[in-house]
Amino acid sequence: MTSTVLVLSGPNLNLLGERDPAIYGSATLADIEAAVGARAQGYGLVVEHHQSNHEGDLVDLVHSARDRCAAIIVNPGALTHYGWSLHDALATFDGPVVEVHLSNPAAREPWRHTSVVAPVAAGTIAGFGPDGYLHAVDAVARLLGVSG
């Protein structure tokens, strides 16, 4: 079995550290990627990171992960609430999918309360800032039966 975990970051996550730090914190996407890589390495997992502001790019990345990656961690950004093509692509992936959000969408504006990704994810981790990504790596390791 492959030990690669695909980590996908959706629209506007390239602006982490600059965009609304009161909500999203001061960590950059590069900071999060480094922390995720270090955590995954402790489980013997390899992480492949991609960020895109375009839904179709994320769909293509999910398609390319089929039969190549063991799991997917995804922060779909605003696509969480309307990205049905991302939902459909994730539904074709055989490994575990963990959805992660820096903020807690359920505690924010009503339009953020629904996730179209959640039905195809093993679970959702939200509201823990950058640590949520580390929790997601831990969850993926458990779901894959990998110990550190």
Enumerate domains of the chain plus CATH numbers.
4-91+122-144 (3.40.50.9100)
Q: Is the dihedral of CA 76, 84, 139, 96 positive or negative?
A: negative
Burial of 44 from C-beta contacts in 10 A (0-12 / 13-18 / 19+): exposed
**pLDDT tens profile 78-101:** 999 999 999 999 999 999 999 999
pLDDT band with cut points at 50, 70 and 90 for residue 108: confident
d(CA 135, CA 18) in angstroms, rounded, equals 23
Task: Look up the pTM and report it.
Answer: 0.94
State the pLDDT at residue 19.
84
Cα–chain center distance at 24? 15
Show which residues are catalytic: 24, 101
Our measurement of the distance from residue 13's CA atom to the centroid of its chain's CA atoms, rounded to an integer in Å, reads 11
